[in-house]
Chains A and B, each alone.
Chain A
Amino acid sequence: MNKEAQPSPELLQNSIKAWQNWFGGIAAQNKLVRPLQRWDTAGKVVKSDKHVINGPYVEIKESIGGLILIKAESYEEAIQIAQNCPILELGGNVEVRMADNPEG
């Protein structure tokens, strides 16, 4: 999610139903492995010299809002699910990655 596109709390609140229905829809297809977990937008970064700095977004202008694990046969299927993610309506992106061991 681009920092500038960070949605307002009110906008987020109004989108709660859309989020719930999106999870519900994935779960209804029995493809939900782990529900979305929101990530703190601040966070810390441990550099290679073990030095700790505030915020992971010093060099890139994006933050990861959360993580959701789903079951999908292929990237195509996962992308179809991701295309209905409410974050897109709020100006965010969805990054789709295949986990090596989905159960792990």
Chain B
Amino acid sequence: MKCVWPTIQRDNLYCLCRTLQRQFFIFYDMEKQELIPNLFRSEYQKIVSVLVRLFGIAEIETAEDIVSDTFLSATEAWSTRGLPENPTAWLYTVAKNKTKNHLKRDKLFQDKLSPEIQYLAATTEEFEIDLSSKNIGDSQLAMIFTVCNPQISLESQIALALNLLCGFGIQEIADAYLTNKEVVYKRLKRAKAKLKEVNVKIEQPGLTEISERLNTVLTTLYLLFSEGYYSTTKNSILRRDFCAEAMRLVYLLASQEQTNLPNVNALLSLMCFHVSRFDARANSDGEVILYHDQDESLWDHQMIEQGKYYLGLSARGNQLTKFHLEAAIAYWHTHKEDLPEKWLQILHLYNNLLIVEYSPIVALNRTYALAKVEGKTAAIIEAEKLNLSDNQFYYSLLGNLYTGIDNVVALDHYKQAMALANTDTDRLIITKHIQNLES
């Protein structure tokens, strides 16, 4: 695959992310309420990243307070005087002023800062906070590597990523996890405490850090994406926003020279392919529609093209990572028709994926692909060796494989899957299979 439209690609992704976020800049009074939350979300993490990089990780709450205070001023000013011509520039100016005031007034805070900044703040009349797009990009990159730190638990990394890297509020995170604000608040507080305890220096990652840590970073961003993609919340706008944010962060990595690496492009490609099916994978009631039953015309073909473009970019270097393999599997799934070549390739890719990294779900998917290539009887023999008797999907797979071969056994397997299922979505899918077999 060859890139023929590099400049359009960048704009395309930007537009698509925008659309996904439903972030419309419409200057009507009625729409103002809509504008503010989305604008704040995207600006929150930018300003926080710049301030935290300037002050150090220990002052994370101060940075967040300054930004929250800025948004409060904006809400007050804009609701009485109307929107300024350039809301973003307005926010940056106010955030800068508030930071400078805080530096001047709070002696205790000053003492905690680095001697260099103290000196600058004391001697310079106009101490500049750099909110240029270059510095924002650098700060966000530094922040990604700070948050995705292997010394912090994965759960904390994700919570921090949602909050600090994506700008999601506590309520939004709670909605996505179907939990309450208190739980999320505590989780974030613990995670931030851990971040301070580890006392990571926030700086532009060097080449050594990038090669050592990029996998952790990508894994966290992949999980962040999955939180949106597989979340059981009915709020589909929020789920889209999670996916769009995860993609934005990977895109940020891909657009910085030092992190524009094959595995980053592979992950971005994988995300594009997944997201292309977003509209097709749930009906109007939010019920999951399985791949086989999806309306292909609802797939986002522009997004599929994006995926192919990044898959092409990922085919460099000499490393075949799990993201490459997963992206290639997702690519073959953009062909709805069951061509023999499709399943041969998917089986081959799953074989390799398992060799790179075992996971029960991959083992099950591989066996499904085997059934497509070698038939159900051969796949049953392989499936029964997997021995995943505590996994509902294991029984669902066996139910599927036995359907048409021995429906009594198939039914029995689906019933076992039902007993292990723990979400309404899963139970609904299994119920349909059971009904089909009983009718």
Contacts and interface: CB of A to CB of B under 8 A. Distances in A.
Interface of A: 17, 20-21, 23-25, 27-30, 32, 35
A7 B351 CA distance: 24
Contact of B351 (A20, A29, A30): A20
A88 B87 CA distance: 72
Interface in B346-386: 347-348, 350-352, 354-355, 358, 362-363, 366-367, 370, 374, 382, 385-386
Given A29-B363, A30-B363, A24 B386 contact: no
Interface SS of chain B = helix
A30 to B, nearest CB: 5
Contacts of A25: 382, 385
A25 B387 CA distance: 12
Given A29-B363, A29-B385, A29-B386, A21 B354 contact: no
Contact of B347 (A21, A29, A30, A35): A21
Nearest to A29: B385
B344 to A, nearest CB: 8
Nearest to A19: B351
Nearest to A25: B382
Nearest to A30: B358
Given A20-B348, A24-B347, A25-B385, 8 more contacts: A17-B348, A21-B351, A24-B355, A24-B366, A28-B385, A29-B387, A30-B358, A32-B355
Nearest to B354: A27
A100 B43 CA distance: 58
Given A20-B348, A21-B347, A25-B382, A32 B370 contact: no
Contacts of A24: 347, 350-352, 354-355, 366, 370
B332 to A, nearest CB: 16
A11 to B, nearest CB: 19
Interface string B310-354: 000000000000000000000000000000000010011011101
Contacts of B370: 21, 24
B345 to A, nearest CB: 11
B347 A32 contact: no
